[in-house]
Structures are given as structure tokens and as C-alpha cells.
Homo-oligomer: A and B are copies of this chain.
């Protein structure tokens, strides 16, 4: 029995990003739905009709229901008994809570990573930032790509903590919610330059094995991101 690649890939994203074809139908539906929700193809608060989605994905309702249950555990959809499932709504309070939790968890990841990451790991992280920089210079407009790159950076640090629970939390669940938030606000985001510079500072702190400083910088970085997002939400609300 070969042919069961379990993604131990050093740089790959957690569970749901890749692997579009492998596994059971329920897993496939989970992936497709997560993708659709995160990219905004399925609007926030939208009702998710089981029969319709099953038809669209070419499968029965059983696997689809299992996928919905999985997504519910991931906080991407919200179910109410006998009334179906709806895409989660990322209101201001929810996002505020998310960023607060993220600040604590990623700060912790950073502090631990400073003592746990190998020199090679840190070097790779620096190389990742170099790639981001060239990418930014090439395509000034396409902010989104950098956003995904930003998440990549954060995930690598979570991995550096060697704490599986932290990786799961930051990787699979919060990660999706963040991506969702990014897709929604990326149009007018211009924070890539300062973000990159902050990333550089963090890597430097990691290279110096200064966990305290690394945590502090990461917390500030996330606070800054939240301020930026928050202002954007204000504009949205004022426009509406």
C-alpha cells in the first residue's frame, strides 16, 4: 500500500489548503466549501442548502452533511438544529476577539520558537521574506499574494514552536478565519511594506535567540494589523 502521501512536507500548509482530490468525498466537500467560504464566493451569513450543494459537488447528501459538521467544528459555518447551516458572519466583535487571541498565541509561538527553531529554519524564514520582497516590488498592486505570504510567515513560526496544539489552532482554524478576513479587506490594504519590515525585525530577534523581544515584536505586529483592519471596517460601515 503506497500512494498514501501524508504531507510531511516541510513547507506545506495545513490540512485544507492543498490536496484537492485525495481522500473521501466528505473531505473533498470540506475542502471545496472552505475554499468557497474563505474566498467570499459564498457570502457571509448565506444559507447553505444541502441538496443544492450536494448536486453541485456531484455527491449525495451524506458526505456533504459530514463536511458541514466538520466546518462547524472549524467555526466556518454555524448550524442550528432543524434549520440548516449558514456561513459564519465575521462582525467587528468577532474579528476583535480573533485578533486578541491571535496576539496571545502567536506571541507565545514566537517566544518558544526563538529557542526551538534550528538555524536552518531561521535562515529559511529569512529567505521567505526575501521572496516576498521581490514579489512586492514586481507586482505592486497584487496585495493579496503578499497576504497569503504573510500567513505563510506566521505559520512557519507556529511550526517553529514545536507545539502541535498551537500549530493546529493557528494553522487550521484561525488560519481559515484570517484568510476569510483578508479576502474581504484586501482590496484597499496597503500595509505590505511596514508588515515586511516588522517581519524582518522578528526574524532578527529569532536569530539572536531573543524570545522576549520576538514576542513583543510579534504582538505589536498583530496589534498593528488589527488597527489597520479595524479602520477598514469603519470605512465599510460608514459607506454602508
By a beta-carbon cutoff of 8 Å, the part of chain A in contact with chain B is 23-24, 26-27, 62, 65-66, 69-70, 72-75, 81-82, 93-94, 97-98, 100-101, 104-105, 107-108, 112, 163-166, 168-169
Contact = CB atoms under 8 A, between A and B. Distances in A.
Given A97-B165, A105-B105, 19 more contacts: A23-B81, A24-B81, A62-B62, A66-B66, A66-B69, A69-B70, A70-B73, A75-B168, A94-B164, A94-B165, A97-B164, A98-B165, A100-B112, A100-B163, A101-B163, A104-B105, A104-B107, A104-B108, A169-B169
Contact of A166 (B24, B66, B101, B164): B101
Contacts of A108: 100-101, 104
Contact of A69 (B69, B98, B100, B105): B69
A166 B99 CA distance: 11
Given A23-B81, A101-B165, A163-B97, A74 B75 contact: no
A79 B105 CA distance: 26
A186 B150 CA distance: 43
Contacts of A82: 24
Nearest first, the 4 A-B pairs at minimum CB distance are A73-B73, A97-B165, A104-B108, A69-B69
Given A97-B165, A163-B100, A166-B97, A72 B70 contact: yes
